[in-house]
Structure 1
Amino acid sequence: MTSTPTAPSEAPGTSTVVEELARDAAVLGGPEEVLSEEQVDTFVREQLGHADLDGRSVCVVVPDGTRSCPLPLLLKAVHGALAGRASRLTVLVALGTHAAMDGDRLRRHLGGDSGTLETAYPGMSVVNHEWWDPDTFVTVGTISADRIGELSEGRLHRSVDVRLNRAVVEHDVALVLGPVFPHEVVGFSGGNKYFFPGVSGQEVIDLSHWLGALITSAKIIGSRGITPVRALIDDAAALIPTEKLALCVVVRSGSDDLHAISFGDTRSAWAAAAQVSAETHVRYLDAPVKRVLSVMPPKYDDIWTAAKGFYKLEPVVADGGEVILYAPHITEISAMHPEINEIGYHCRDYFLAQWDRFKDVHWGVLAHSTHLRGAGTYDEQHGEHLRVTVTLATGIPEDVVRRANLNYLDPTSVDVAAYEQDPDTFVVPQAGEVLFRLR
């Protein structure tokens, strides 16, 4: 099964709040358009040219290499608009808790071409979000337990300290620069999500991701509205004293082409881009499928990131069906979170029923576990029953895969062409960014 249906003109869950926010953003492009490099460059320079940035320091928050984005095109336009105007210009790579990008990867990622970043972007410094170093962070406030209870719709009741990379606070303006896609934790990525979890402390990461897990990925992913997790990170972002602006883009998945770009504050620019993403990154099937073969691109270098090949397909898999993550290049489950190897992958109810056993594990790790394992039930008498089988066809050893409570398939046995001819299998090339739903 190889056909890829197109999205209908209107996706489910349209939010009036998001539509109202989007009206405050400047937008170029739309779901059916592909912008030229000249159009993008002109838009960025014009929008930033009209912004109050003269003599002010600017921290540009950008994604790491796990997102499709023509970052060199965008960053060159930003640098062209701000060099000589901004008193200081810093690029901060929003790793979340991903591995740091080294010099060569950063140069390729940001557009250093054949030279150095210093040559390509004179006067601009580039830093990774060093989340492993406590000195990276500054506390900007606390969200009370009562407010968390309100934001989470009663699911959680505990206060949270709001910490983030001090570079954001030590600049006059924070400019988010990056793409918007359907997202398993927050609904749609982008906007204030580049602060939380992009450059935030573990506290908000754990709380927000576990809140998403309690709601479940299948229910929250691709929701257009202000989800409880989006409301939480918006509240956290409101504590940042820095002025917050955003250039949000909607990328044609697996390419550097842009459907649209928006500019405004971090809420309005995100809302405008999310509406376009809902039309371009969500596609529909008429009936559930028995098996999915998610072919994962090289930008995902462990299962922690390649799990998006499951998140984006879970909604269209039939009960008792299977998702195969095909990624021979991946050799480990997580480069940065060894705890996942210890607890393995389980449904939400598995952890809730044994909370005393798991409550001290980072909640972000627990959330990732539930997101990849998908829907299921657990009780002490009957054990765990999972709706969908998850199979790894990767370079990870079989014993490691099975110990993590996942199925194993020898990647050398995978014949993609044969799967494409199988009427029971839905093959998704370049999986991880486009969300599939049932009509």
Structure 2
Amino acid sequence: MTELFLRLHDRRVHFHIPPQWRLLSFAEFTDRPEPADVVGMVRRALKKPIDHPPLSEAAGSSDKIAIVIEDPSRSSPKQLVLRALLLELAEADVPPDHVIIVIGLGTHRRLDREEMRRVYGDDLVDTYEFVNHDCRAQDLVPIGALRSGTTVAINRRVAEADFKIGIGSIFPHPMNGFGGGGKIIFPAVANFEAILEHHLTYSFRGDSKIGRLEGNPFYEEIRDLATAAGLDLVI
């Protein structure tokens, strides 16, 4: 029997296929270096962002900062991006106790402390406050409604922050056109009922499809909700 494996986080899960099966292809990543300087690239971008003043000017030392970061289900150099962002906030004299990092789980499961350390870094988890978003929490803050009229509410810590920053990867998305952007607010830190209704309403429409933004109701509603939530900056 042929032995193969699938990658699961940082380990391999081995399995066999019967000898009568014909293996068409087996894709395996080769070792490759990380991009030259992710932290440096992000810091340079934050000093000259698109359609926004530099972060050091936009965020004040007395501001309460909420950073919403994607969970491990998305593949990206999220820890390096977060490190760059936190360095820029420190340069703007924002103290660590003014920063809350909310893991934008949407309806996904919570991360335990060990997973947080593995994904986001021991030193960052020890220095900053990390919390899991709970889409069923009782203290979510209403920010608007879906076009159907269903109330949309978001994480209280995000809603009450003076400055809201999202960190999310941009990949082609089967319904939203592309990932990233406003998805770091909805569904990432939104309420279960609204997420469920939105996805059931738009997921199977012909105009909700990969690579399409204009005229895509799945994307347009998310964009409008992120604006209503007051999302200031997206990386």
TM-score when normalising by structure 1 = 0.41
The aligned residue for residue 88 of structure 2 is: 81
Cα shift at 1:61: 0.5
The aligned residue for residue 132 of structure 1 is: 136
Q: Give yes or no for contact 1:139–1:164 (8 Å, CA) kept in 2.
A: yes
Unmatched 5+ residue regions in structure 1?
5-33, 149-157, 248-439
Q: Report matched runs for 1:19-418 at 5 Å.
A: 36-37=37-38, 39-44=40-45, 46-47=47-48, 48-55=54-61, 56-83=63-90, 85-86=93-94, 88-112=98-122, 117-118=125-126, 122=127, 124-135=128-139, 137-143=140-146, 148=147, 158-215=148-205, 220-225=209-214, 227-240=216-229, 242-247=230-235
Q: Percent identity?
A: 27
Q: CA RMSD in A?
A: 2.5
Cα shift at 1:44: 4.7
- 1:162 and 1:184, CA in 2 relative to 1: closer, same or farther beyond 3 A? same
Give CA-to-partner distance per residue, 1:312-361, whole Å, 9 cap, x none. Answer: xxxxxxxxxxxxxxxxxxxxxxxxxxxxxxxxxxxxxxxxxxxxxxxxxx
Distance in 2 (CA, whole Å) between partners of 1:190 and 1:211 is 20
Cα shift at 1:230: 1.0
- 1:65 and 1:139, CA in 2 relative to 1: closer, same or farther beyond 3 A? same
- 1:2 and 1:68, CA in 2 relative to 1: closer, same or farther beyond 3 A? same
Cα shift at 1:169: 1.2
Distance in 1 (CA, whole Å) between partners of 2:199 and 2:104 is 16
TM-score when normalising by structure 2 = 0.74
Q: 1:111 is matched by which residue type in structure 2?
A: G
Q: Give yes or no for contact 1:208–1:229 (8 Å, CA) kept in 2.
A: yes
Distance in 2 (CA, whole Å) between partners of 1:37 and 1:140 is 34
Give CA-to-partner distance per residue, 1:154-177, whole Å, 9 cap, x none. Answer: xxxx31212111111110111001
Distance in 2 (CA, whole Å) between partners of 1:76 and 1:116 is 8
Distance in 2 (CA, whole Å) between partners of 1:243 and 1:116 is 23
Distance in 1 (CA, whole Å) between partners of 2:182 and 2:57 is 19
- 1:51 and 1:228, CA in 2 relative to 1: closer, same or farther beyond 3 A? farther
Aligned length: 196
**Runs of 4 or more off by more than 6 Å in structure 1?**
none
Residue 221 of structure 2 aligns to a residue in which SS?
helix
Give CA-to-partner distance per residue, 1:261-300, whole Å, 9 cap, x none. Answer: xxxxxxxxxxxxxxxxxxxxxxxxxxxxxxxxxxxxxxxx
Q: Give yes or no for contact 2:170–2:180 (8 Å, CA) kept in 1.
A: yes
Distance in 2 (CA, whole Å) between partners of 1:237 and 1:245 is 11
Unmatched 5+ residue regions in structure 2?
1-23, 28-34, 49-53
Q: 2:174 is matched by which residue type in structure 1?
A: E
Residue 59 of structure 1 aligns to a residue in which SS?
strand
- 1:35 and 1:216, CA in 2 relative to 1: closer, same or farther beyond 3 A? farther
